Amino acid sequence: MSLLEILTYPDPRLKTISAPVTEFDAKLQAFLIDLENTMRAGPGGVGIAAPQVGCFQRIVLLDVSSKPKIKHHGNLVLINPEITQWEGFEIGREGCMSVPDYTGNVIRAQYLHLMAQDQHGIQHEYDMEGFEARAIQHELDHLDGLLFIDRLVSRRHDLFRRKVYVSIQTQPHLSSEKAIDR
């Protein structure tokens, strides 16, 4: 199993607009395995976008099923994802493997309709809400070169430094923030 290196802010490559996937070949399938392992190795680990590991293609993995009492679609491979409808908005706390030291309050749509291909190129549609909808909006931003810190209304009021209570060497994933890590 190989883990891929995560690009972190302010790496300028994170601003890249990713290209659509056109080949659903063995190379893609192998990349998806490495990408999933990398997502699950991270703190939180509910989602990852290919550009976070330096692959500038429109690929997102999402699995919010570990969160209690929320509606979700399980473990999703979302290729060339597109949001076609949005409804409502709410503010919520987000974190990101590419912005490891901070969390932030971001306004996102509450409900959305998503179209995406799976790993074989077959088109699917999803109605998402709440946490899962927030997560996909966050990941889709990565495909367009945006981070959650680009969405803050006010850096002064909506950006929070993570407070690590235990030494980083002994507890790399322990943090006081119950934030979403994506």
Residues at the interface with Ni ion (CB under 5 A): 96, 182
Closest approach of Cβ 182 to Ni ion, in Å?
Answer: 4
Work out the number of other CB atoms within 10 angstroms of the CB of residue 39: 26
CA 35 to the chain's CA centroid: 12
Number of H helices, E strands in the chain: 3, 9
CA 80/CA 116 separation, integer angstroms: 6
- Nearest residue (CB) to Ni ion, 24 versus 36: 36
Q: Is 139 a catalytic residue?
A: yes
- Nearest residue (CB) to Ni ion, 25 versus 101: 101
Annotate 31-61 with DSSP letters as a single string.
Answer: HHHHHHHHHHHSSS-SEEEGGGGT--BSEEE
Closest approach of Cβ 89 to Ni ion, in Å?
Answer: 19
Closest approach of Cβ 156 to Ni ion, in Å?
Answer: 22
Both tokens of 60, joined, read: 């997102």
Do 20 and 80 contact (CB within 8 A), yes or no? yes
- Nearest residue (CB) to Ni ion, 96 versus 106: 96
Active-site hit among 94, 125, 132, 139: 139
CA 116/CA 59 separation, integer angstroms: 10
- Nearest residue (CB) to Ni ion, 50 versus 96: 96
Q: Which residues are catalytic, by number?
A: 139
